[in-house]
Amino acid sequence: MQAGRLSWKDVREAIHEWILSGRYGPGDKLPRDADIAVELACARSTVQRAMQDLSDSGIVERRRKGGTRVRQDPVVRATLDIPITRREIEDRGGLYDYRLIERSFGKPPRAVRIAMNLSDAPDMLRIEALHLCDGRPYIFEDRWVCTTTAPNILKVDLSRDSANEWLVRNAPYTRFEVKFFALNADQRTAELMATTPRSALLAIERTTWLDDRPITHVTAIAAPGYRLLSRS
Amino acid sequence: MQAGRLSWKDVREAIHEWILSGRYGPGDKLPRDADIAVELACARSTVQRAMQDLSDSGIVERRRKGGTRVRQDPVVRATLDIPITRREIEDRGGLYDYRLIERSFGKPPRAVRIAMNLSDAPDMLRIEALHLCDGRPYIFEDRWVCTTTAPNILKVDLSRDSANEWLVRNAPYTRFEVKFFALNADQRTAELMATTPRSALLAIERTTWLDDRPITHVTAIAAPGYRLLSRS
DNA sequence: AAGTGGTCTAGACCACGTA
DNA sequence: ACGTGGTCTAGACCACTTA
């Protein structure tokens, strides 16, 4: 970064400082980008880049002609990284292991069809698998794969390679949805996860699409004590 | 948008398409920005903006001198909005209500000090409060506020105004951390949330700082059935 | 109708990391 | 050392929205 010149991140900090210090409070209108550029002695596009970031972060609200205002109800916007399970475990320094529990065909239950936004119910590949960290259950994965969208998965030996990994590498998506919720372990899940029935488990439900065709729907159930952290 | 000219989002889509179609697979090196700019007939900075976004989305990896490569292990990067609880309920069309359960002073437990990254343990304001949707418990909030960083909260009548809302409006932060996990309701929580002990509940733990001084640490425990959705 | 944000362009220079 | 991404600048024009 060149000395004496402001980067757009510097500009963002400067403007954020104005807000933190109360120079501009919630609902207040900020000066036009052009005027800020003059005040801070930088190009307007630099201010624009900074403002775009403040807007993305939910701190500021911008409207053409209406100008820029400090948001009344700031939103906490958190970003989460959900890596491949194998990598997640290896990055923690754990030993990864994987076990295929079931592989079958059938019509997905209604909840899955709804999540995929499907009216009819074609047969899909059903996969149940367990990811282990240092020999202990880490994540149980209950997955449905749409074989019309991702037919090549039928050639994969899922007892060796996890669908999680194969899909992420070989079936890129254009859109996805994620849901987080807590559930009580039922009898079977408790056995699989080596815990007691009714244990509270974090579930991460993910659906991916290639354009408008669903690829897969997975419910990943994490072992007790699992914590999902936001990116710094 | 001007016709005949490519916006950086168009460029991002074009490049993403190259990846989806297999023209460039995982690990492959993409051409230099400058060459892509020539191929697509746009400015290099437009390609740069598109690439920055693809990099932010975890699709591509960029290194100075090393060039740009398609990521081997794509990461699912989800963004979550965590609004003020009152707004969250009202946006769902629910009737919001709020009850202060406890307001006291004391030393925070060790877990809170660790989360705040504090070695010593000053007295802090402790708040327990319940947010209700249509008269039913929705979120139980267990909060510690550092009164040296946010002293003005002592003047607030917390039986009327929730600390959640007051802090978000009046104590802006520069940094925060969020954790998600599942927990079994204990006896007291079960009573407060009008559910049964051992129910699985989603907990959202959040810590905020103003520069390096902690502001608040809150564990928000959601009612059974609560689901957290990613932003589209 | 006019003002404000949104974006593109072309050129320049910097900074980082690999070869 | 040098190639590649990262960013700034100044100007231009567009697009949206509200006064």
Please compute the mean of the pLDDT values over residues A145-172 and round it to a whole number. 93
Q: In a 3-state reduction of DSSP, which class is residue B170?
A: helix
Give me the CA A70–C1' D14 separation in Å, rounded: 26
Q: Which top CATH class is A85-222?
A: alpha beta
Min distance A226 CA to chain B CA atoms (Å)? 6
Residue B74: which pLDDT band, with cuts at 50, 70 and 90? confident
Residue A84 has its nearest CB partner, among B73, B203, B228, at: B73
Q: Is A104 exposed, middle or buried (0-12, 13-18, 19+ CB in 10 A)?
A: exposed
> Which chain A residues are Cβ-neighbours of B87 within 8 angstroms?
73
Percentage with pLDDT > 70 across chain A: 98
Look over chain B and give the mean of its residue pLDDT values, rounded to a whole number.
Answer: 92
Cα–Cα distance list, B107 to B120, B146, B156, B212 (Å): 10, 10, 21, 19
Q: In a 3-state reduction of DSSP, which class is residue B215?
A: strand
Give me the CA A22–C1' C9 separation in Å, rounded: 38
- Can you give the pLDDT at residue B72? 85
Q: Which residue has the tokens 């039986």?
A: B159
Report if CB A3 to strand C is under 7 Å: yes
CB contacts < 8 A (A, B): 149
Q: Where are the alpha helices (DSSP H) in A57-203?
A: 85-91, 110-116, 163-170, 187-192
pLDDT tens digits for A7-54? 899 999 999 999 988 899 889 999 999 999 999 999 999 999 999 989
Q: In a 3-state reduction of DSSP, which class is residue A128?
A: strand
Please compute the mean of the pLDDT values over residues A208-218 and round it to a whole number. 93
Q: What is the DSSP letter of B37?
A: H
Instruction: Quote the tokens at residue A160.
Output: 């060796």
Strand C positions closer than 7 A to protein CB: 2-19
> Which chain A residues are Cβ-neighbours of B227 within 8 angstroms?
179-181
Burial annotation B95-125 (CB, 10 A radius, 16+ → b, else e):
ebbbebeeeeeeebeeebbebbebeeeeebb
Helix (H) or strand (E) holding B212: none
pLDDT tens digits for B4-39? 578 899 999 999 999 988 899 889 999 999 999 999
CA distance A70 to A62: 9
CA distance B214 to B94: 33
B179/A20 CB distance under 8 A: no
> Which chain B residues are Cβ-neighbours of A198 within 8 angstroms?
184, 198, 200
> Do residues B160 and B147 make contact, with C-beta atoms less than 8 angstroms apart?
no
Listed residue (B72, B134, B74, B129) closest to B103, CA to CA:
B129
Residue A4: which pLDDT band, with cuts at 50, 70 and 90? low
Residue B202 has its nearest CB partner, among A175, A181, A206, at: A181
- Can you give the pLDDT at residue B2? 42
Instruction: Quote the tokens at residue A165.
Output: 């990994």
CB count within 10 Å of CB B32 equals 13
Q: In a 3-state reduction of DSSP, which class is residue B7?
A: coil
Q: How many CA atoms are closer than 13 Å to the CA of B84, on its beta-carbon side?
A: 21
- Can you give the pLDDT at residue B231? 76
A181/B226 CB distance under 8 A: yes
Min distance B81 CA to chain A CA atoms (Å)? 5
Q: Where are the alpha helices (DSSP H) in B57-195?
A: 85-91, 110-116, 163-170, 187-192
Q: Which of A 13-52 have CB under 7 A of nucleic chain D?
A: 41-46, 49
Please compute the mean of the pLDDT values over residues A116-136 and round it to a whole number. 94
> Which chain B residues are Cβ-neighbours of A8 within 8 angstroms?
none
B182/A172 CB distance under 8 A: no
* pLDDT higher than 70, residue A3: no
* pLDDT higher than 90, residue A173: no
End-to-end CA distance of chain B: 23
Q: In a 3-state reduction of DSSP, which class is residue B178?
A: strand
Q: Classify domain A8-70 at the CATH topology level.
A: Arc Repressor Mutant, subunit A (1.10.10)
Give me the CA B79–C1' D15 separation in Å, rounded: 28
Q: Where are the alpha helices (DSSP H) in A117-186?
A: 163-170
Which residue ranges make up each domain of chain B?
A: 8-70, 85-222
Question: What residues are paired with B126 via a beta bridge?
Answer: B104, B144
End-to-end CA distance of chain A: 22
Residue B3: which pLDDT band, with cuts at 50, 70 and 90? very low
Listed residue (A32, A90, A171) closest to B76, CA to CA:
A171
Report if CB B5 to strand C is under 7 Å: yes
Helix (H) or strand (E) holding B140: strand B136-145
Percentage with pLDDT > 90 across chain A: 75
Please compute the mean of the pLDDT values over residues A128-138 and round it to a whole number. 98
Cα–Cα distance list, A10 to A28, B51, B111, B157 (Å): 21, 22, 34, 37
> Do residues B130 and B98 make contact, with C-beta atoms less than 8 angstroms apart?
yes
Please compute the mean of the pLDDT values over residues B203-214 and round it to a whole number. 93
Cα–Cα distance list, B148 to B159, B172, B174, B177 (Å): 21, 14, 16, 20
A182/B168 CB distance under 8 A: no
Lowest mean pLDDT among A2-16, A87-101, A103-117, B193-207: A2-16
Listed residue (A139, A148, A79) closest to A116, CA to CA:
A148
* pLDDT higher than 50, residue B137: yes
- Can you give the pLDDT at residue B4? 59
- What number of residues does chain B have? 232
Residue nearest to nucleotide D5 (CA to C1'): B64
Percentage with pLDDT > 70 across chain B: 98
Residue B62, CA: closest nucleotide via C1'? D5
Residue B81 has its nearest CB partner, among A75, A184, A224, at: A75
Question: What residues are paired with B175 via a beta bridge?
Answer: B209
Please compute the mean of the pLDDT values over residues A171-194 and round it to a whole number. 94
Instruction: Quote the tokens at residue A81.
Output: 């990284």
Instruction: Quote the tokens at residue B169.
Output: 């409006």
Report if CB B52 to strand D is under 7 Å: yes
pLDDT tens digits for B55-71? 988 899 999 999 999 99
C-alpha gyration radius of chain A: 24
- What number of residues does chain A have? 232
Sign of CA dihedral A108, A112, A114, A117: negative
> Do residues A70 and A22 make contact, with C-beta atoms less than 8 angstroms apart?
no
Report if CB A6 to strand C is under 7 Å: no
Phi, psi of A227 (to 5 degrees): -130, 135
Min distance B3 CA to chain A CA atoms (Å)? 20
Q: What is the DSSP letter of A230?
A: B
